Structure 1
Amino acid sequence: MPDPGVQQQLHHLYSHHHGWLKAWLRKKLSCQHTAADLAQDTFVRLIVSDKTPLPGQSRAYLTQIAKGLVIDLYRRQRLEQAYHEWLLQLPPIDIPSPEQQAIALQSLIQLDKVFDQLPARVRETFILSRFDQRTYSEIAAQLGISVAAVRKYMLKATQACMEQL
């Protein structure tokens, strides 16, 4: 629980900027419900971060958090759309149950976050290996790196995935 001074600052921020932030998000997203959700999520992130903006920088700080949440929302929507398009290509007998679909989608979202945090070369190496079915030698030649570097990058990517799951 934040100390009373921080609680008072958070209360002030919320009471003076929540309406403005929600209106700003509504304009960006064209959906009042999603805007309301992201406005709340912005303040939750602020509380969890245990940081408060400097005086005079409140709106800029809140906007920065909200923009990150909007980007996360769009990424998640694109991932969900791609997953649903993939499901449509499956024969009806192979379509997973709604519960299995939800689990798979949640796993994809978690892995997407992991991949986003990996260095570009590590991410590219992993994708070439696992999704394009390239051999380590082919990846090394394509990226202009050694096979040992491919092994190292694959280990790093695999470890990151395992830590997340």
Structure 2
Amino acid sequence: MSEAVILSEQTLHGLYRDHRSWLESWLQRRLGNRWDAADLSQDTFLRVLASPQVLEELREPRAYLLTVGKRLLVNFYKRRSLEQAYLEALANLPEALAPSPEQRWLLLETLQALDELLDGLAPQVRRAFLWAQLEGLGYAQIAERLQVSERTVKRYMAQAYEHCLLAEL
């Protein structure tokens, strides 16, 4: 093992030892339960582990951990909101059409992946893309709903497709 890897592991261990309980407490106050807080705390340190160059340059560890933790907290709430909307939609389905628990899980995972993929898009671009893809609306219909020109909708769709293609790379 190289000296840099050993130093990085020692730095991460020290960061974890010195700040995990503080971060977990901060998250617990926002979430209201320690289990989700512990999960998000672990996810935060996994993010730090995934970018070892950060460890070398880290001057304010709590500020950095707080930034990562806040982002994960936002994602957590978005995922929870998406799950709730999905469960409400399922509750309105006739029992004969309701998906199995396995299908529900797969659908929810797909919805979360789609939500993450489209997260970087402007709201209007995102709406246009989803209406075209999920509802099968044409550009004229989307333009009418968004109160923009068809040319603008074409531009929105190009942006959305480019975003999706770049995310695949």
Q: Which amino acid aligns with 1:114?
A: L
Query: Aligned partners of 2:90 and 2:146: how far apart in 1?
Result: 32
Counterpart for residue 65 of structure 2: 62
Counterpart for residue 139 of structure 2: 136
How far residue 67 of structure 1 moved from its aligned partner, in angstroms, is 0.6
Which stretch of the first structure deviates more once superposed, 140-149 or 5-14? 140-149
Equivalent of residue 83 in structure 2, options 80, 85, 91 = 80
**RMSD of aligned C-alpha atoms?**
2.4
How far residue 22 of structure 1 moved from its aligned partner, in angstroms, is 1.1
How far residue 30 of structure 1 moved from its aligned partner, in angstroms, is 1.2
- Normalising by structure 2, we get a TM-score of 0.83
Counterpart for residue 38 of structure 2: 36
How far residue 151 of structure 1 moved from its aligned partner, in angstroms, is 3.0
Q: Which amino acid aligns with 2:66?
A: T
Counterpart for residue 18 of structure 1: 20
Counterpart for residue 7 of structure 2: 5
Counterpart for residue 154 of structure 1: 157
- Normalising by structure 1, we get a TM-score of 0.85
Counterpart for residue 95 of structure 1: 98
Number of corresponding residues: 163
Q: Gaps (5+ residues) in structure 1?
A: none
Counterpart for residue 113 of structure 1: 116
Matched residue SS, 2:119: helix
Query: Aligned partners of 1:101 and 1:161: how far apart in 2?
Result: 24
Query: Aligned partners of 1:88 and 1:161: how far apart in 2?
Result: 31
Query: Percent identity between the aligned chains?
Result: 39
Q: Which amino acid aligns with 1:7?
A: E
1:127 aligns with 2:163: no
Change (3 A) 1:10 1:111: same
